Amino acid sequence: MIFRFCVVFFGLSLTFSHFVQADSQDEYELLDRIGSGNSEAGKIKSREELCQGCHGEIGNSSSAEYPRLAGQYADYIIKQFRDFRSGARQHHVMNAVASSISDEDLTDIAAYFASRERVRAQQRKAIEVAEKIYSNGDMRRALIACSSCHGSSGQGSYAGEESVPTIGGQHKLYLREQLLKWRSGDRANSPGGVMNMVAKLLKDEEIEALAEYISSM
């Protein structure tokens, strides 16, 4: 009885707090993205440490070789950076870059890029194959919808401990490359190997279509 009461009460207070926060949702969302770093300091440090030289002044690089970092979750940026540092994620350039930055500088730099606005395409491309997989997955091969983790417009999600990265508006070639690396196992740093499991179920033409579709979000 007491238990049931608690459940109902907990449910109500959740609904209520959700209601109260609704007005300032954008603000909360942004705080989740930025994390604990100082984005003003990060702006200067990311210039001094040459991140801007490759990833763009506000993290919106125009070259497909360099992934966009603008509007990305700070804790995802930090995790990837540490993975490059430890070698859990391999890339000749980033493995070298990551060895020379302190954790404090990294937190500030991540906050700066996270605080910038991500690229949003004017109109999402109508690519049926990709749209289906992205939004519905495919039950027959136990393929989970990308949207259930990465959000309906590729904005990513934040669960309080770990974030799922923003992928909408990212360079098509970078997305394609990462999906191929997840599939072959060349990249294997996702929690529980989730992205390797997902990508193994994808055919070449589906990877191509998904990369194009997601970059137009």
Task: Summarize as ranges the residues that interact with ligand HEC (CB under 6 A).
Answer: 49-51, 53-55, 65-67, 69, 77, 79-81, 91, 93-94, 97, 101, 109, 133, 144, 146, 148-150, 164-165, 167, 175, 177-179, 189-191, 194-195, 198, 210
- Kindly tell me which of 55 and 116 has the beta carbon lying closer to ligand HEC: 55
For residue 214, the minimal CB distance to ligand HEC (Å) is 6
Sign of CA dihedral 3, 4, 7, 12: negative
- Kindly tell me which of 13 and 68 has the beta carbon lying closer to ligand HEC: 68
Q: What is the 3-state secondary structure (H, E, C) of 63-99?
A: CCCCCCCCCCCHHHHHHHHHHHHHCCCCCHHHHHHHC
- Kindly tell me which of 26 and 161 has the beta carbon lying closer to ligand HEC: 161
- Kindly tell me which of 44 and 50 has the beta carbon lying closer to ligand HEC: 50
- Kindly tell me which of 11 and 201 has the beta carbon lying closer to ligand HEC: 201
- Kindly tell me which of 11 and 185 has the beta carbon lying closer to ligand HEC: 185
Tokens read off for 59: 């993290």
For residue 50, the minimal CB distance to ligand HEC (Å) is 4
For residue 3, the minimal CB distance to ligand HEC (Å) is 31
For residue 14, the minimal CB distance to ligand HEC (Å) is 23
For residue 68, the minimal CB distance to ligand HEC (Å) is 8
CA 108 – CA 42 distance, rounded (Å): 4
For residue 100, the minimal CB distance to ligand HEC (Å) is 8
